[in-house]
Structure 1
């Protein structure tokens, strides 16, 4: 199933930018390929109208790994000679060491590493404030985010894995003080993990249009596209259901084959079948993978959102996870 047009766009929540429904994620994807392949993949994304890149400096908390993925991304941007209008950037602000490590410093380091002042971008389009752990002064977080918006670091923001009460307080603080509220949530979401996005936790805000959904880790670190024993570090197994996910892969294959599609196309089409989804963040590491993923667009058009969801109904494996709407520390 091939797609040769331009990737469609959706709004990344109220106040957010118009973005392509495909987004390339950065958790070590740029250092999983050779330089030639990086350049080819980024050029293909630009040509397909899908140049939305999630790029972060991973050197805090559990991510203190001295990753070079953002450095390599910046080098590729400069080597390709891309104009800033050719692509969109989604950055990260980490809460692991906040407020000791403030947002201004984090933004300065992130931008410097991807080439600000040396032909690279001078700002992000949007950012995610993520990896919520511990007792955080949420009202101050909203104020500090606003300070970075006023400084020109980015224009909109989203959240990742925030407890219900914290998100409610952030929205209330923004409304009461005339500050910029979060416009989207980046969440684990896909064929097998749906409770956080479709349940009581975030579902209310998606249903009423307060937030848009940015779906991430839809392939469970590659398991749902056939890499059943990942050799690299992948996302946390929240709820301890990974063995069940591995066991479900043959059913994913069967359903995809029934639509004359690949598992990757099915997984992305499922995410986009949810009207709350603004875009799907994935970690393709080759033009071939990217082009295969593009086939999700004609698949969704041909089968329809209802048909996709009905076919995949029994793949929902985390129905009981976070049923009470409380974020629990990830199971490693």
Structure 2
């Protein structure tokens, strides 16, 4: 069914901007379609109010892939005739090579590849081992002051690290991270719904849900050929085995499994945006059908999918994406 309404917007954290509740990701997305198809998809998404695009330069650390998805996105935006002021761009800083590769170098390179001179928000990505959080906050604040972007968040940090970053920024009069981009899905709930992050959400932090389909598995692509994200807790096979139940629950509500996965994330009280990747207008329309499911059955979704929570008692609620990391000060 073709979607025709305007997608609603929510505030990205108590002090953040208003954003559409759906955003389009870039990892292994734009490089899966022809440029004309990508331009048509971007044009349709923006016309429907889905004008938030999470775009990164994937050539750092585990993502040292020399990917061109960001280049394709930049060309497609121009081909679609979408003006810069008509869309929101969320970029990424990678921490694996930081501070050897500075944030200033990263943002300049990333934006030049897209073909613009500014982002709207930036996410400080995953990291392994120790990190000088004070330096991260200070360096990000310098780039905010320089006008590269206005809002920032973090990607799959532990709640303890994020709380430290927010408290340090506020104490020093700098812009704090206002949102967390977290793995969140029917199967992965322990971190976004745990008490440590719950206290941050109570304090006004916003949630940006990512990897909601587990690389496509929870949308029915049980054996994705493309590279997909990390597997905290080693539960991917169990998630794959749970898909038939997700499909049965969705069918009870007259929806697809993909719509169920998206609508579920939007029931989180702090959720501002659900990020997903699509490869065409038809798939975008199908995903946006999650709004109808949410409107019709929003109060029923959580109890209906309780049995699909796979990482319960497997991943600690204060863990980062890769490990049950101890708290750091």
1:222 paired with 2:219, answer no
Equivalences for residues 1-332 of structure 1 within 5 A: 3-115=3-115, 121-206=116-201, 208-304=202-298, 306-323=299-316, 325-327=318-320, 329=322
Assess if the C-alpha contact under 8 Å between 2:152 and 2:177 holds in 1.
yes
Whole-angstrom distance in 2 between the partners of 1:109 and 1:164: 30
Comparing 79-88 and 69-78, the one that deviates more: 79-88
Whole-angstrom distance in 2 between the partners of 1:327 and 1:126: 21
Whole-angstrom distance in 2 between the partners of 1:47 and 1:9: 14
Whole-angstrom distance in 2 between the partners of 1:330 and 1:122: 36
Whole-angstrom distance in 2 between the partners of 1:326 and 1:193: 12
What do the CA deviations read for 1:33-79 (whole angstroms, capped 9, x no partner)? 11121011101101101111000101110111110000000111111
* Structure 1 unaligned regions, length at least 5: 116-120
What SS does structure 1 have at the residue aligned with 2:300?
Answer: helix
What do the CA deviations read for 1:79-115 (whole angstroms, capped 9, x no partner)? 1221112110000011001111111110100111011
Number of equivalenced pairs? 324
Assess if the C-alpha contact under 8 Å between 2:157 and 2:321 holds in 1.
no
* Structure 2 unaligned regions, length at least 5: 325-329
TM-score calculated relative to the size of structure 1: 0.95
TM-score calculated relative to the size of structure 2: 0.95
User: Cα offset for 1:137?
Assistant: 0.9
Assess if the C-alpha contact under 8 Å between 1:21 and 1:279 holds in 2.
yes
Whole-angstrom distance in 1 between the partners of 2:88 and 2:19: 8
Whole-angstrom distance in 2 between the partners of 1:126 and 1:227: 31
Runs of 4+ displaced beyond 6 Å: none
